[in-house]
Every structure is written in structure tokens, then in C-alpha cells.
Structure 1
Amino acid sequence: MKHITRVTLFLTGCLLIFGILSCNNTSKNTDTSSTATTGKDSLQNYVDQRIAIYETVKLTTNLNGLTTNERKILPLLIQAAQIMDNLFWKQAYPQRDSLLSTIKNEKTKSFVMINYGPWDRLNGDKPFVAGIGPKPAGASFYPLNMTKEALEKSAVTDKYGLYSVIKGDSSGRLISVPYNALFASELQEASNLLKQAALFAEDPGFKKYLTLRADALVTDNYTASDYAWLDMKTNTLDIIIGPIENYEDKLFNARASFEAYVLVKDKAWSKRLEKYVSMLPQLQQGLPVEAKYKKERPGTDSELNAYDVVYYAGDCNAGSKTIAVNLPNDEVIQQKKGTRRSQLKNAMKAKFDKILMPIAKELIDKDQLQYLNFDAFFANVMFHEVAHGLGIKKTITGKGFVKEALQEQYSWLEEGKADVLGLYMVTGLLKKGELDGDIKQFYTTYMAGILRSVRFGAASAHGKANMQCFNFFKENGAFIRNENGTYKVDFTKFEQAMNKLSRLIITLQGNGDKAAVEKTQKEKAVITTELQQDLDKLTKKGIPVDIIFEQGVDVLGVH
């Protein structure tokens, strides 16, 4: 099927989107908190309610420690990030401008911009513009009417390529088009900006990375730049840029989406975190799972750093905002070299203050509120990212890497693994005296974190992961729900449930049993009616679900 680049929208009728006519479709969604209908007024009411779930946060940091050259670099990095933002729009919803031109209401326009399209990312991708049908599982990575079987049976050589899209040629035959050809002009412009930045870079490692990443953008060969990025040790500025995560491809979880983070390192906080990566092999051996599932040795030549993020773009800015990053995703690089775990401290603090604490005051037992604190939240999030390096990368059943075996079921289960193994790490380090604090602080803050993240909904990998964790912990008595609708942690059973869930997830991954994972998702990664009622209380109280950003050179005061 030919790629359609132009569409005509009739907001009171039908929408020609991604090349297929869709009339009066409604999204299949299990979320019961709100129901959008085809009436214009009800859709507007829906948007008015849903846009209020976001709290605006200004992304700033202390720039006094930057050199003159670093101040020149920042605007160049932000410009390159903005190109990634535009490229993600082309992947997620290429008809942005034509859609916006038909919408008169400013709140609806803003909500489209927040969601990178007309589907509510934090409510199961529910459509909120009249005439819009369900969101295509493959976004614009594949022809809309293409089945999984059609691609699998085709002659395409990179069926599941990270850096290509699948199109239909004039004869209807499926072909692959690489990103560096499809987005050649935009990627060349971003590459030039990174090379300009490299000219000003004083840190040798950062200069090398910028140069190699610039080359990678126009060749689709990112390996050398990934290694260079991991080799950087003394840089103050950083940029994570390119096609990276697979979340947007819900058909195969194969193709990467464009995104960028512009970062300023907090060297004092980073210094405090240095020791933990070296402990990964020991923690791997202690995992509560059969020996055959923990034979792999995690890489330790990596860094654990804290940053202030000053710009989000593309995939990481869509839906729930990332507050920590664990990259690169390449399993070979992870095993040989490790990963860099970047904690986005200012964004994390904003979520703690504006979202997690207000949630806790409504839903956590009043006698346990004393255990909530930011250091525990920071550690839980940090060790979530570190825990991506634990467990198993290759199946023990000959099905290749776990990611290849589980395909679209991989991301949510991997996030669930990182959640529970992060808590496992916290527990182990506390017992060894390597981490300060009371286990009650970490467990209670973790419980509040689950209640925060389940609000991201079923369309989010993180949302699914936390739904599974909530239901599993509930079934195992890790917490009780008081008569007044608050939750009280049973600290002993919490640890027991943590170990049981760790064992379950690693076993599912190691077996590479996609059908079993899909069954688990359908049974456990769901929001019960009772939990939804409790979450609805938060909405009625006006507690935000997530944050959006006021960001850029004007906010930072650099030009």
C-alpha cells in the first residue's frame, strides 16, 4: 500500500488517516474513569477534564558553573533536540498540521500537542477528536492495513529493523526504507548542529561523542557513538539523541522512535552514586531465581549519574515523562560494557513534590506517611534503572534475546522487572549496610510510587508494569486496604512478594514464552474497579497525573 502524506479531516464525519477510511470508530479501552462519545460537546468536556491532569514545570538548573563554551553549546543541543521532536511527530502522527488547522478550541490544540496526536496517551490512547478512530498499533512505522503475518512472510530483509520503516511500493510489495533516507534533510541538519557543538566542546570525551553521534544520525550506525557515550567520564553537559526506544511500535516493539534529552550533570550527587554499579555481579548472584536464569554477568564499566534535564523532545516527552534513563538498549553493548544510568533529578523532584506526596496524603495510611521522603523515592527510581542490567538478556530456551522472543510483550514486562528488582537491590544494599535509611521508608515510598504510576494507564509500558505489581502484591498480602480507602504496607509480606514477583518475571523472560507473558498481562496488568475508584478520588482532588514542561533557551537564559 502506498504511503499517504496528505489527509483531509472532517471533524463531524470521517477521518482518512494513515491511508484508511475510519468512520465513527471508538477506542477499545478498559479505562472506566471517562468515556468519550462521538458528540462534539462531550469530547470537549473530556478534553477540559483531561488537560487538567498535567502540572506545568519550568525546566531550569544552575548554570553558574558552566564555562563560556558550554553556554554556547547548550543552544545548539536544544536546536538538535527540537529536530528530534519534529521527527517523532512524523512517526507518531504525521498529519499534525492538517489536524490542528481544523481544530478551533485552544485547549484541544494544546492537548493534541501534549499527546503528539489525537489520542490520550495516559488513558489507553482514547481518541479525543471527533471522527478519529483507534490509534494504529504500528503508528506510521508500517502500512496501516498490514498484518503481522504479511510482514513475517514477506521478503523484507530487516523485518524488525530498529532504524527503518515498512512501506508498500507501487506494486503492493512490502519494502524497507531506512531512517537516514526517509528523514535525510532533518537528520543532516541535526548532525551539523552536533558537529558545531563539538567544535566548542572542551571535554575530549564529550567532543568525541558529539562527533560520532553526528555521524550516526546520517548513517543509522549508532554503535560507535554508544561506546563513546559510555566512555565519557568528566563531561558536564550531555545529550541523549536519536531513535532510541521502541514503545511507540506496539505492533512488534521493534522500531525506534526519535527523542532527545539535554542534560547538565550534578557532579556532587553523581559522586555519591559511584559505588553501586560495581555491586551488580554480587546482586545478580543473589537473585531469588533458579541458577540457570542468572548465569549472565552484568557489565560494570558504566556510570550512575545525576543530572538536571533542561530539555525533553520527542518520545520521552510524550505521555508519562521519563525521570531516569538506562541506555544504550543494545544487549550486546550492555553485556560487554554496561549502561549509563542517568537520574533526572529536577524532574524527579517535581514529580515527588507535585504528585507523589499529594497522592500519599490521600491514599497511604496516615500512620505510615512519616516514612515518605525524597531520598527513598530517588533511590527507588535510581535502582529501577540499575536493575535493567540484572536478570537475563538471552532466553535459556534457544529463542535468542528476550526482546526478540517477547516482541510487543517485552517492554511492559521489562519495566516490571526493573521495578521489582530495583526494590530487591534496595533491600539487599540496606542489609549490607551499603545504603542509608529505614526499609519502611523505601517500601512505603514504593507503594506510593505504584499508585502514582498506575495512573499512566494501559497504553503505557510503565502503567502496565505497575498494574501487575499492584495486583500481585495485593494477592500476596503485601498491603491491605483500610476501610477508609487508604493503603497500609505489611513490611514482611512486602519483601516476600517482591521475591516471588522477581522470580516470576525473570522466569517468564528466560523462557521467552510470549504466550505466557501475554496471558499474564491480560490477567494481572489491569486496573480493578476498586482501585479505579480510589484513583478517581485523586482526580476529584485535582492531583495531577503527570507534568509538562516550560523549557528552552528563553527559560534557561542562554541564546
Structure 2
Amino acid sequence: MNKSTKAALFFTGCSIIAGIVSCTSNPETKNIKTGKTTVVVKDSLQGYVHSRLNMYEPVKLTTNLNVLTVNERKLLPLLIQAAQIMDELFWRQAYPQRDSLLAVIKDEETRNFIRINYGPWDRLNNDKPFISGIGPRPDGATFYPAGMLKADLEKADLKDKFNPYSIIESDSAGKLSVVPYHVVFASDLQKASSLLKQAALLADDAGLKKYLNLRADALVTDNYVPSDYVWLDMKTNTLDIIIGPIENYEDKLFNARTAFEAYVLVKDREWSKRLQKYVRLLPELQKGLPVPQKYKQEKPGTDSELNAYDVVYYAGDCNAGSKTIAVNLPNDELIQQKKGTRRSQLKNTMKAKFDKILLPIANELIDKDQQQYVSFDAFFANVMFHEVAHGLGIKKTVTGKGFVKAALKEQYSWLEEGKADVLGLYMVTGLLKKKELTGNIKTYYTTFMAGLLRSVRFGASEAHGQANMQCFNYFKQKGAFIRTENGTYKVDFVKFGAAMNGLSNLILTLQGNGDKAAVEKAKKDNAVISPELQADLDRLSKKRIPVDIVFEQGADVLGVK
């Protein structure tokens, strides 16, 4: 990576943060989570950090290691070490000046908040800067040269210029070039590759052994397809690792470049067994989608798996700001069509968010008569079918514009998340009618409503938050819920189902048409938080209900050092 080019993206020295306020003679405030007394400056950036830091609830990542073999216990620390390298690589992508910034920040809370956000922008508050002198967060992160406009790359005659495993560099004359990740990050990727090779030597499971070897090769070649196919074929492994450059949310300029991340996972076999039957129902559910035939003529892959895991380590992109609670991979559309995907439900993290966030939100904002319908099983199912629903709908436009993702570019992610939300609910509704799922529809709908109120707090800078805001506003317009005089939300169960079908139709049509301008308009009109809703969300903050969680994790936490 051209260091001088990347440094220019943010700032060139420490002088611009010299204005951080000293707080030696100001009022004291007690942190309710730690019990420690902290001095803050009223209305200062440090005061802002103090209030925001309290919105993250600490959670220790553990699991039952008794399910692991002796070799798997030896293998686990190697996977965590490889994941930690992904964490360092994500820092280089998101904010490479981490060390120089932390060196001049004396306030420990601010330092912690920088670490949570992987930089000086509040990811759950529309990327608001919280360090003096820091400007807006660049849409292109470090994937593109400083000051490069979208049109500069669009008109450039460059082969493979939207390669997801590369950056764009500019020489002194302004000439652009494509540089692969395995060249930019060669040294670190080689170390991670070596760790995966060592882990493969210890793997008892043949599928895991093959995957680790191929993934190790992928890290140093940027050819991830063979390892993705082998990963989908793994059936009997207990340990797993998702590792590499995967999601493209960090690239807000083109939604093209991928960010490094890793999850180290331990499969919950009992829960996974309960989920196996649902993927085979995808083709039938696809046929019933509430949209004209041309938008649902594709056949979803059925060689997919639904599994439940406990996560024992998060690293990089998935650990930045809001924490992922379910994963649907691979993202490659061709693999999805030929083979399907694996939907991984991250059960321990999901349970932590339900207990510490969703239930307190429901107790505050859901109508008292409907609070009885909020349950973890419904939350788990709604999240699970969100991931399954990524496989429904349409991957290629009906207008000859190619894949939906390529046609919608930076507008793709938020709309796809919105599709998965509403089609996940559509799946729940259909499966209940077919008696393939048990429970009361009121439970799933009310829990979904509470989930909306949880996720809109992620803000307008985050794809999932934008998707939930669109859903909230659409459902409100259709009368799917009302806000009572008491300031609580009450679901109209009949209209909720109708709104679900209407929004499904709208999103699938937008995707199938590949009309980027129409999607931009939909986002501008609907992915917004009204003053009334914001006031209700502020009530949650005043009640000190967390927005998200932050992890205590690592080999030492697990006791496998």
C-alpha cells in the first residue's frame, strides 16, 4: 500500500487533535457499568464519548469446550491468532493511523471508543466524528486514493477495476492502478495463511482440514472460490472459522471492495439439527413470493445448511460498531445459484442481545398488552429466516443490467438487508400456515416489531439500520402498528401481514429492475428517522438501555492458552 497516499485520507499529524479538552477541574460522573468515577466536560467531545460508551454492554464470549477433542483444543488458539491478524488488517483498511491517534489520546474512555469503532467516527450515530479536528469519514475508506471521485474510476480504462480483493492506487501523475490484496497485505496474509496450515495439521475432521488448507491458499492468492465450495461441503465439523475479506459494507463509494474479518465458531449440534429441514422448503416459498412471475423465476440453491454456533472470537469488520448475530455466506452470486449458502446463527451473541437489549426495549416501547408475545425463540427464528431469505428473490435483473448487486452498486447492501428482513417474516408466516413452524403468529410479529425498534438505533450510516428504518416507515404508512397515547407501539396483526407482502413486492421489483435511481429515491424518502421516533429512541438512551454489545474475548477468556 502507498503509505503517503493512504495517510492523506485522514490527517497528516497529531496537531489537529491537540484541541482535545483537558478535564482536570470539571464535574465528576459515575459510570454505572464499572462503578468508576470519571471526570467529563459538559457538552464536550469527551462528554459525548462518555454518554455513548455507556450504550455498549460488555459480554464475555465463552462456550462449552467439553464438546471439543484434544486436538481441537490445540487448534482453537491458532484460529484465534489468525483472526487477530484479520483484525489488524481491518484497522489498516478502516483507519491506518490508529497508533498515532491513540498515542496522543489520554482519556481512556475515548481510547476505548476509538477501538470499538475502529476509528474516530461513531458507527452507530451516522459516523459522527468524536475527536476534535477530525472531518467526515471518507466514503471510500482506504480503498481509493484521497479525493478520487466516483466518476474518476468509472471512466478509467482499468482491467478488473471493481475487483473486490484489491485497492485503487494513484501515482504522482494521477494515474490509477489496481493492486491486489495479496500484494498490499502480503506479509500479514502470509502469517495468517501459515497459522491456518498449522491448524489443518491438527484437524480431526477431513472437511475442516481441506477447508483450512484451501483457505490458507486463498489468503495469499485472492482466489477464494475453491475454499468457499469446500466450506459449503463441510458437514461434520465442530470447529469452524470464517476468515478473509468478505463483506463490502465498508466501501460506501462503490460497495465493491471487501473488508477483512473473522469469526471463530463452535457448532451447537443440537440446535443445528433442529434447523436442517427449512432449506428444502426454499423452492416452494420462492414460488409463492408476492410479486409477478418474472421477479421470482430463479430457483434458489437447496444444497445449503442452517447451523447454530457459539462465537468465541470476532475480528475486524464484523466486530466494528454493531455486532453481527447471523451470517449468510458466501456472497458470490454464482456460488449461491449453483450451490446455495450456509446460514450461521450465532446463538450466544443473539441471546446476549435479546436479554440485554431487545427485552428492555420491549418493556419500554411495546404496548403492555403485547409484551407477552416477545420471546427469544421468535427472535431467533426471525433472525434465522432473515439469513435464509437472502437466498430468495432475484439475483439477476429482468432488464438486462446483469446482477442486481452490480446494477445497484453502493445502494445494493441496504436494500438487500431490507429484502431479507421482510422476506424472512414472509417465510415465518408461510411456514406457520404450512405447520412447518410452531407458535403463534402474534409472537413472531410482535418480536419483529421490537426488533425493528432495536435495529433502527444503528443509525443512517449502517445498512441494517437503513433497512429497518425503511421497514418501520413503510409499515407505519400501512397502519401495521400504531403509536398509543402512552408512547408505546401496538401491532395490528392483520395489517402487519399485508404490509409485509407490500414491502416484499416493492423491494423485489426495485431489485429486479436494477433501477439505481429509484432505489436512491426510496432510501432518501423512507430510510429516515422521524422526530417522533427519535424522541422514543432517546427514551431508551435515558433509561440506559444499551444500543449494542462489546466483547471480552480471546484464548485467555476461554482458558485455552
Settle same-fold status: TM greater than 0.5.
yes
2:364 match: 362
Rounded Cα–Cα distance in structure 2 between residues aligned with 1:531 and 1:10:
39
Task: Give the counterpart of 2:465 among 459, 463, 466.
Answer: 463
Q: CA deviation at 1:14?
A: 9.3
Rounded Cα–Cα distance in structure 2 between residues aligned with 1:384 and 1:406:
21
1:10 match: 15
2:25 match: none
RMSD: 1.3
Q: Any residues of structure 2 matched to 1:83-162 within 5 Å, and which?
A: 83-162=85-164
* 1:3 partner SS: helix
Rounded Cα–Cα distance in structure 1 between residues aligned with 2:487 and 2:239:
45
Rounded Cα–Cα distance in structure 1 between residues aligned with 2:530 and 2:467:
14
Deviations 1:311-337 (A, max 9, x none): 000000001100000000000000000
Q: CA deviation at 1:13?
A: 6.6
* 1:219 partner SS: coil
Deviations 1:282-328 (A, max 9, x none): 00000000000000000000110000000000000001100000000
Rounded Cα–Cα distance in structure 1 between residues aligned with 2:109 and 2:315:
21
1:276 lines up with 2:278 in the alignment: yes
Q: CA deviation at 1:528?
A: 0.2
Rounded Cα–Cα distance in structure 1 between residues aligned with 2:368 and 2:106:
46
* 1:193 partner SS: helix
* 1:189 partner SS: helix
Number of residue pairs the alignment of both structures matches = 536
Deviations 1:473-528 (A, max 9, x none): 00000000001110000000000000000000000000000000000000000000
Q: CA deviation at 1:4?
A: 4.0
Q: Any residues of structure 2 matched to 1:204-219 within 5 Å, and which?
A: 204-219=206-221
* 2:487 partner SS: coil
Deviations 1:417-449 (A, max 9, x none): 000000000000000000010000000000000
Deviations 1:235-269 (A, max 9, x none): 00000000000000000000000000000000000
* 1:123 partner SS: coil
Q: Any residues of structure 2 matched to 1:121-520 within 5 Å, and which?
A: 121-520=123-522
Rounded Cα–Cα distance in structure 2 between residues aligned with 1:408 and 1:99:
29
Q: CA deviation at 1:41?
A: 5.9
Name the TM-score, length of structure 2 as normaliser: 0.94
Q: CA deviation at 1:155?
A: 2.0
Q: CA deviation at 1:171?
A: 2.0
Whether the 8 Å contact between 1:11 and 1:102 is mirrored in structure 2 is no
Q: Which runs of 5+ in 1 are unaligned?
A: 16-38
Whether the 8 Å contact between 2:6 and 2:142 is mirrored in structure 1 is no
1:34 match: none
Task: Give the counterpart of 2:537 among 532, 535, 538.
Answer: 535
Task: Give the counterpart of 1:556 among 555, 558, 561.
Answer: 558
Rounded Cα–Cα distance in structure 1 between residues aligned with 2:460 and 2:76:
36
Rounded Cα–Cα distance in structure 1 between residues aligned with 2:17 and 2:245:
36
Letter in 2 for 1:439: I
The structure-2 alpha-carbon separation of the partners of 1:131 and 1:283, relative to structure 1 and needing over 3 Å to count, comes to same
* 1:506 partner SS: helix
Rounded Cα–Cα distance in structure 2 between residues aligned with 1:121 and 1:368:
32
Rounded Cα–Cα distance in structure 2 between residues aligned with 1:189 and 1:99:
26
Whether the 8 Å contact between 1:40 and 1:130 is mirrored in structure 2 is no
Rounded Cα–Cα distance in structure 1 between residues aligned with 2:120 and 2:69:
42
Whether the 8 Å contact between 2:255 and 2:412 is mirrored in structure 1 is yes
Q: Name the stretch that deviates more: 162-171 or 134-143.
A: 162-171
Name the TM-score, length of structure 1 as normaliser: 0.95
Rounded Cα–Cα distance in structure 1 between residues aligned with 2:463 and 2:516:
16
Letter in 1 for 2:292: E
Whether the 8 Å contact between 2:279 and 2:304 is mirrored in structure 1 is yes
Letter in 2 for 1:8: G
